[in-house]
Amino acid sequence: MANTTLASGLPPLPAYEIQPMPDLLPFISDFWLSLISTHIAYWVVSMIFHVIDVYDLFPQYRLHTPEEISQRNLASRYEVARDVIIEQIIQMGMSAFLSATDPQQTTGTEEYDVAVWATRIRLAQRALPTVLGTLGFNAAAISKNMAASYPLLAGALAGGHYPFLTTTLDDVTGTAVPAFATWELMVAKAIYWVIVPGFQLWVATCFLDTWQYFWHRAMHLNKWMYTNWHARHHRLYVPYAYGALYNHPIEGFVLDTLGAGLAYKVSMLSARGGMLFFVFSTIKTVDDHCGYALPWDPLQHITSNNAAYHDIHHQSWGIKSNFSQPFFTIWDRLLGTMWKGDTTAKYERTRAAAAVKLDKKEAAAAEPVVAENGKANGQVNGKTNGKVNGKANGKSRAK
């Protein structure tokens, strides 16, 4: 490769030595970290919201009242936690499978890969004179005029020609060879370390969003899938953080586990990029079910798909809308399934209905206590009166 680049007037590519990549953390292997990182993130974030919920720390930002959680939801906290743990066990199995099918993580080629991108940038510059010529500019003349004051810009306009940029190939022969410009290496590093991974994350995000929208919508349109799978998730009319993954195991596998795994493979993320994607997706899903519209929560402002948006879908009046999750709302917008209109009055009615229902339950629970107390008082009073009257009658007869 180095000989090829030299022959074409390009800087040589550096040699490299491939080595196994050390684990990200010294106390746990990357394999086990990939298995547990998303679930640690899930429960840590969930417990933060749970504390906020239990102690009612920010009542002004609640989407629902505590009475609604206790009166409207059809699944107990235990059932929710149990099903979440079942799904997370399935997800750990998928993570193990993905890790087993990934190539071994290695290091040592980073400088070489950056140099490859720098070479591509140098080759791309060779098209500049032709492009400028089609626009009516003489690139050679412009380059010559700028050579003294702006040599790097002149070199780019000349088609990536930098005769003044050289380096020594080795210390023995002292042979001078072409070198990359600083800006070329900086752009190459940005592409390699930021743009490419960022694009891969974007592809994974878009894939997962598309996958979940159409499967989610299908589970509402298909009566059998809704009854047998998706209805379980909708037992939570009032979502809360650790109920985010409260699903039927098959739904959880198809919608979340398989969807995220395919997004990881399609986007060709690295193993660590995959961990970042899975952790971020998990935290976003928890946040979307947290039940709070917190103004300082950055995840609720990245896109319009947030806790308030998804909460509408959990209401009986909004269940046929807002299918998009967990990142964007593009499919709802394009396909006309986004909720439109004010929801204030609807939320007020459900809050009032939950409060009335709770009052009736408390009153019904209190009635047996009152009746029991009345019965007990009657028995006590009867016994007391009987004793008193008996003694009085006895004394009267004695006289």
| Domain presence at residue 291 | yes
Largest Cα–Cα separation, the chain:
143
pTM beyond cutoff 0.85: yes
Q: To the nearest whole number, what is the mean pLDDT of the chain?
A: 91
Average pLDDT over residues 185-192: 98
Is the per-residue pLDDT at 64 higher than 80?
Answer: yes
Beta strand 19-20 with 106-107: parallel, antiparallel or unpaired? antiparallel
Is the per-residue pLDDT at 384 higher than 60?
Answer: no
| Domain presence at residue 128 | no
| Domain presence at residue 150 | no
| Domain presence at residue 37 | yes
Measuring CA to CA, which residue among 214, 161, 202 is closest to residue 184?
A: 161
| Domain presence at residue 180 | no
| Domain presence at residue 132 | no
pLDDT in tens, 115-168: 999 999 999 999 999 999 999 999 999 999 999 999 999 999 999 999 999 988
| Domain presence at residue 275 | yes
Phi, psi of 47 (to 5 degrees): -70, -30
Reported as type and span, the H/E element at residue 285 is helix 271-288
| Domain presence at residue 359 | no
**How many domains does the chain divide into?**
1
Structural domain containing residue 17? 2-108+187-335
Cα separation, 306 vs 394, whole angstroms: 82
